[in-house]
Amino acid sequence: MSDQPKGADDYTAAGGTLAALKGVAIKENQAQLLVRLAAKAELFQPDGDDTVFATITVGDDQHRETWRLRSSGFRRWLAAQFYQKEHKAPGAQALQDALLTLEGLAQASGRRHAVALRVTGLPGAVYIDLGTPQWDAIEITATGWRIVAKPPVRFRRAKGMLALPVPVPGGTLEALRPFLNVADADQVTLLLAWLVGTLHPRGPYPVLVLHGEHGAAKSTAARVLRALVDPNTSPLRAEPREERDLVIAASNAWVVAFDNLSHLSPWLSDALSRLATGAGFGTRQLYSDDDEMLFTASRPILLNGIEEVVARPDLMDRSVIVELPTILPAKRQKEAVLWAQFDAARPALLGALCTAVAAALRDHERTEIPALPRMADFATWVTAAEPGLRWEPGRFLTAYGKNQSAAHELALDASVIAAPLQELLLATGQWEGLLRDLLDALGTRVSEDRRRQREWPKTTRGLLGMLTRLAPTLRAVGIRYTTGREAGTNLATISLQKK
C-alpha cells in the first residue's frame, strides 16, 4: 500500500468520507493540484484526431488562446497557475503526470471542436489569425472585413509564426508590383490570384512555382508573397528529405514554402500534389514504432528554383508556373530599402487582399465558368474576386489559360515518351495494338542511349503508368487513348488517336 496521502476526490470515489479521517489533514499532491487548476481551461479534441487541445482565458482583456495540451504555451500557463497558488514551481514529474491525466479526461469527455492554423472559415465568413498577443483576427464576410477581438473560431499557434499587420482600407493589390520582379501583366495577375487563393478557407490550393536564372530575385519574391499572408521567422525551407519532414512543415505553417530546389524526386512531387488537394498523410512519429502522426488538411504551396523543377504532369496540373526575368544591374536596390518600403505598404496591401476575398465570398456561389479548368475551385474563387481586385471580367482566366497551355508544353518536353509518341501519330493519326508492341515502336524512334536511361519505361506497366500521368496533357494536345485486353488472352492493348 502506498503511503501517499489521498485527495478528497479519491476518498469520495472509494466510498469513504472526510469525516472518517477524524481530523487528519488531506493534502493534494502537485499533480492533483495541477489537474484541479486546469479546470479553468476547456479541453477538447478535433474531429478525427486524438490530439488534446486546451482553450484558456488570458490577460486583462480576457482573450482566448488555444494550445496543444503538450505545447510549451499550455505548460507555461499551467505552471503559472500553480505558482500563483503555491508560490513555487511545480515539479517536472508532477507536470507530466498532470498532463497525462488531463489527456485521459479530455478523451473521456468526448468534447470536439475544430481548430485551425492562420486561416479558417464558417459559413459565409473567412477568419485570419493576425498572430498578435491579443489573439484577435480579421473577419471577412460578403459585406467587407473588420478586426474582431474574440473570433468565433479556435486558432492554434505554431512556433515561428509572426504577426500580420493590422490591415487598412483603400489600398490596391496592384501596389505589390514594385516588390516583385515580374515581366508582364499576366505574371502579376497570376501572382495576385495565387495570393487570393491562399485565403480560401478550404483547398485545393494551387502550387506556385517561381523559376529563373541567378539574380531573378526568386527568393525575395517568395518571401514577399508569404509575408503578406503567413509571415514566419523561417519563411523559406530547404527541400524536405522525407514525407515526415513535409508533414511537420505543413502542420506548423499555413503556407508551405521551399527554396532553391534543383529537382523534385517522384515521391516529393506526388506528396506535394496530395498536400495541395488535401489527401491524407500518415507517418511514424519520432522515436515510436506504432504511433502515427496523421495530417489530412491541404496547404498553399510555394516553390522556387533555377530549373523547371515541376516535371510530373499531376503536379504540373495543380501548379501556377511563373518565370522571373533576370534583374538588370541598373534596377537593383538594397534589400534594406526594399523591405522598409514593403513593410510600410503591407497594411494597405493586406486590406486590399481582404477586400478581394470579401468579393469572392459574395459572388463565388453564383459565378459560372463555361469550361472549368483544372483546379476549378481556385479558378472560380479568383474569378469571383475580380470586382474586389478592380479587374476587368475574364482577366484571370485569360492569364491562367495561357499558363496552363505553357505547362502542358513543359510536361511534354519533360516526358521521355511524348516526342516519340507524337511522331508515331503524326503520319496516320492513330495506332492500335498490344501495349508491348507500342513500347517497341516508341523505342525505335529514340536512340539507344535514351532507351538505357533510367527514366525510359522498361516494361508495359511502366509505360502505362507514364501514359496515365500524362493523360491530361495528351488530351490538351488532342491525343486520347483507351486500353483493354486482347480477346482470349491477358495481354494489354491500347488504341491511340490524334484529332
Give the burial class of 340: count Cβ atoms within 10 A of its Cβ; 0-12 exposed, 13-18 middle, 19 or more buried. exposed
**Closest by CA position to 138, among listed 153, 159, 160, 123:** 153
Q: Rounded to 5 degrees, what angle do the CA atoms 295, 162, 72 make? A: 65
- Among 208, 209, 219, 309, residue whose Cα is nearest residue 268: 309
Residue 346, SS3? helix
User: Roughly what angle, to the nearest 10 degrees, separates helices 218-229 and 335-363?
Assistant: 50
**Helical residues (DSSP H) of 172-236, grouped into ranges:** 185-198, 218-229
Angle at 405 between CA 400 and CA 408, to 5 degrees: 125
Q: How far apart are CA 80 and CA 97, in angstroms?
A: 17
DSSP-assigned beta bridge partners for residue 281:
295
Phi then psi for 258, rounded to 5 degrees? -120, 135
Q: Tell me where in the chain the CATH 3.90.1150 domain(s) lie.
A: 417-498
Q: Where in the chain is the domain with CATH 3.40.50.300?
A: 173-411
Pairwise CA distance, residues 182 & 124, whole Å? 34
How many residues are present in the chain? 499
**CATH classification code of 417-498:** 3.90.1150
Q: How many beta carbons lie within 10 A of that of residue 155, not counting itself?
A: 22
The verdict on whether omega for the bond into residue 5 sits within 30 degrees of 0, i.e. cis, is no
Contact present, 415 and 470 (Cβ < 8 Å): yes
Q: Which amino acid is at 131?
A: G
> Which residue, 270, 266, 63, 248, is CA-closest to 147?
63
Is 46 strand, coil or helix? coil
- Position 56: which residue type? I
Residue 240 contacts residue 253 (beta carbons within 8 Å)? no
Amino acid identity at 423: E
Give me the phi and psi of 140, to 5 degrees please: -115, 130
Residue type, 447: S
35 near 102, Cβ under 8 Å? yes
Neighbouring residues of 87: CB distance < 8 A, sequence distance ≥ 6? none
Q: Name, in order, each residue with C-beta under 8 angstroms of 476's C-beta and a sequence gap of 6 or more.
A: 404, 405, 408
Averaged pLDDT in 10-residue chunks for the chain of 499 residues:
40 38 61 94 90 92 93 94 95 95 93 95 97 97 97 95 97 95 93 97 94 89 97 94 89 95 90 88 56 76 89 88 87 90 97 98 94 91 96 95 87 87 86 91 90 90 89 87 86 88
Strands 207-211, 301-305: pairing is parallel
- Distance of alpha carbon 263 from alpha carbon 473, whole angstroms: 21
The CATH number of domain 173-411 is 3.40.50.920: no
pLDDT at 352: 98
* Residue of 153, 123, 121, 122 lying closest to 136 (CA atoms): 153
Strands (E), 410-461: 430-434
The C-alpha atoms of residue 425 and residue 258 are separated, in whole angstroms, by 39
**What is residue 299's predicted lDDT score, i.e. its pLDDT?**
95
* 118 within 8 A of 349, measured Cβ to Cβ: no
pTM of the model: 0.85
